[in-house]
Structure 1
Amino acid sequence: MPARNLTALLLPPCLLLASAAACGSSSSAGSEPPALTREQAQEVIARYSRDAPRSLASAETDPQLAMDAAALKMRRVTKRRAPSRTFSHTALYVPRMAGYPRWFAADAISGQGKETLRHALLFTQAKAGAPWLLAADPLPTDASLGRVALDPDGYASPVDPGLKGLAITPADLPRAHSALFNGGPKAPGASALGPGPKTDQAYRALVQGEAALKGQGIGLVSRFSPAPGPVFALRTRDRGALVWYAVKQNEAYTTTERGKLAVTGDLVGLAPARSARTRVDTTVLVQYLAAVPPKGRATVTGMYRKAVAAKGS
């Protein structure tokens, strides 16, 4: 898996100067067969570890594919070493479900020492006979998946993204998160998200970054929206949900002085280094993992952020 941007705050990332779809319905224990057996799920993870280094397109799907493909471009330019694709301490969370797409999640560890990363892997299968592909991998800061409820046979229950009766409907999380970054914690819908480094603190860092750039003669307009693709959720022991979702960030950096903008940082490999003259437009994808209780506010526990497109002019 290509190297990650592990910054917890959504600073203006990249250059510088320095609708959600249902993914299975909620079911009671034993009412539906599991998406696959635990042995088959382990084989899917092992196959991913083997195949991803050779071809991301045969091992991943969006948003993971778009993000990791961009990270691969950056690594080729910077000649950075590929991180470990071997997972250990794997715990599987396979939901019971009928029909397709089918999916499952896994809590896993990669790397050693300072390079150790915790993963919230999510694999999907679009239809019968289709390959299982990695669709999401936000990096949780705690043992978030340990909250998932398991039935007596060790299988999980999916939550319909449109399910009511929680602190926020899982399908509404991308919209709420986008509203927070666009308008701050008091924006309509943003109050569903609790405070933390990936929510209100990230918004403040973004505002501070915009102000700092303005002082250097650079304008930044940043707009967030729900990313295309489904939302996935598993039932937790408190009758809440653990939710995987993604947000898209569109940025426009502008200046009247040539030489102030540069394609650096997270944008390396996405546009020619000298293409930034007076404007750079970027597209960034951000994956999140959030715990949604029955009442209260959602807590965002994991994130993976990567610029996926850039254009200088």
Structure 2
Amino acid sequence: MPARNVTVASLCTSCLLAAALGTGCSEGSPSSAEAEKRAAAPALSKAQAQQVLDAYTAEANRAGRKLDRTVLPGIEADPQLSMDDASLKLRRVIKRPPPTVRFTNTSFYIPRVSGYPHWFAAGAVTGQGKRSMRHALLFTQAKAGAPWLLTANPYPTSDALSNIALDPEGFATSVDADERKGLAAAPGKVPAAHAALLTDGPGAANASLMADGAQTSETYKALKQGEKTLAGRGVTLSSRFSPSQYRVFALRTKDRGALVWYVLKQNEAYSSSKRGRLAVGGDLLGLVPVKAARTRMDTTVLVQYLAAVPPKGRATVTGMYRKAVTAHGT
């Protein structure tokens, strides 16, 4: 049989997206630390948050129309910046601007914070009908007077943000990354547990913190199947996930749990002993020359996640956004 080329398109793109398509309130007394947070001033008003979102939308659409990556550093911060920069590189190659962005059904979740970075979350929808998509946008301000920048934007599969608890004045309460009291796991522990599960499976250390689902156990199974399929075509793939250096953000939910934004880094390595078996395509377009992959391709992927951590039980992943950001072929 003739040899079949394998297009290197960052295998997990299809695995994760395919998996994503498959898929009562109680109040307690706040701790002293939480009471102190509730006494702090909110990062900004809801009217100001709407202005931030409107300004971002206008500039993002300008960048999209012109496929101008130079606009992004003025409106985004990492990890969103690196991911959207890579997306515009791809769109320049395929000569297809992104659709115009228009956010509807917006809601704002603004925590009271005493120090920087200031931040807030926004729930919104783009598109209509079957093409509609939910967003869990997270904006940050590094210091006083600094611009508000979009830092994360995972895509929830449900209206997860509506479960965020609000005080009588309509503001949210932040949860520290290392806060363990009253939670099944500290928000800062979730990335490592999730990375361990995706790399080594449900039996990995701390993987039991994560509930089964499209972005956890099912993604691991899809990855293993993908590796087996590629092996049959003469290509070896190794994939490893790890917590990224980016900050974990979390807000208190109505059930006294937490909704958590975090980022994992995925390193993929494709190799074949026979030249010509690998070809660059899909998610990697724009990151490396099309003919760069001869016998090996190494990629770095960032995956944003949104997860709900309950008071008891296991964390459930409710949203994600994935993009390859670097690639190197030999």
TM superposition score normalised by structure 1: 0.91
For the residue of structure 1 that corresponds to 2:107, the secondary structure is strand
For the residue of structure 2 that corresponds to 1:9, the secondary structure is helix
- Alignment counterpart, residue 278 of structure 1, candidates 283, 290, 295: 295
Give 1:176's aligned residue.
193
Q: What does 1:239-254 correspond to in 2, within 5 Å?
A: 239-254=256-271
Give 1:161's aligned residue.
177
Give the Cα–Cα distance (whole angstroms) in 1 for the partners of residues 161 and 135 of structure 2.
10
Give 2:7's aligned residue.
none
1:215–1:7 Cα change, 3 Å: closer
Give 2:54's aligned residue.
46
* Shift in Å, 1:28: 5.4
- Alignment counterpart, residue 274 of structure 2, candidates 245, 253, 257: 257
Pair 1:36-2:44 in alignment:
yes
Deviations 1:63-105 (A, max 9, x none): 0000010011111111223123221110100011111000000
Q: Percent identity of the aligned residues?
A: 57
Paired amino acid for 2:103:
F
Unaligned stretches of 5+ in structure 2? 1-11, 19-32, 64-70
For the residue of structure 1 that corresponds to 2:280, the secondary structure is coil
Give the Cα–Cα distance (whole angstroms) in 2 for the partners of residues 233 and 60 of structure 1.
19
Give the Cα–Cα distance (whole angstroms) in 2 for the partners of residues 63 and 81 of structure 1.
21
Paired amino acid for 2:319:
G
Unaligned stretches of 5+ in structure 1? 12-24
Pair 1:146-2:170 in alignment:
no
Give the Cα–Cα distance (whole angstroms) in 2 for the partners of residues 271 and 73 of structure 1.
10
Q: Give the ranges of 4+ consecutive aligned residues of structure 1 lying more than 3 Å apart after TM superposition.
A: 5-8, 25-30
1:62–1:6 Cα change, 3 Å: same
Q: What does 1:73-84 correspond to in 2, within 5 Å?
A: 73-84=89-100
Give 2:222's aligned residue.
205
Paired amino acid for 2:220:
Y
Larger Rg, first or second structure (1 or 2): 2
TM superposition score normalised by structure 2: 0.87
Give the Cα–Cα distance (whole angstroms) in 2 for the partners of residues 252 and 56 of structure 1.
29
1:27–1:207 Cα change, 3 Å: farther
The more displaced of 174-183 and 51-60 is 51-60
Give the Cα–Cα distance (whole angstroms) in 2 for the partners of residues 146 and 8 of structure 1.
28
Give 1:136's aligned residue.
152
Q: Is the 8 A contact 2:199 2:241 kept in 1?
A: yes
Q: Is the 8 A contact 1:84 1:111 kept in 2?
A: no
Give 1:92's aligned residue.
108
Q: Which protein has the bigger helix share?
A: 2
Pair 1:189-2:189 in alignment:
no
Deviations 1:122-143 (A, max 9, x none): 0000000000000000000000
Paired amino acid for 1:213:
L
Paired amino acid for 1:9:
L
1:228–1:193 Cα change, 3 Å: same
For the residue of structure 2 that corresponds to 1:51, the secondary structure is helix
Aligned positions, number: 296
Give the Cα–Cα distance (whole angstroms) in 2 for the partners of residues 73 and 203 of structure 1.
29
Pair 1:307-2:315 in alignment:
no
Give the Cα–Cα distance (whole angstroms) in 1 for the partners of residues 187 and 318 of structure 2.
15
1:305–1:128 Cα change, 3 Å: same
Question: How large is the Cα RMSD of the aligned pairs?
Answer: 1.6
Paired amino acid for 2:133:
L
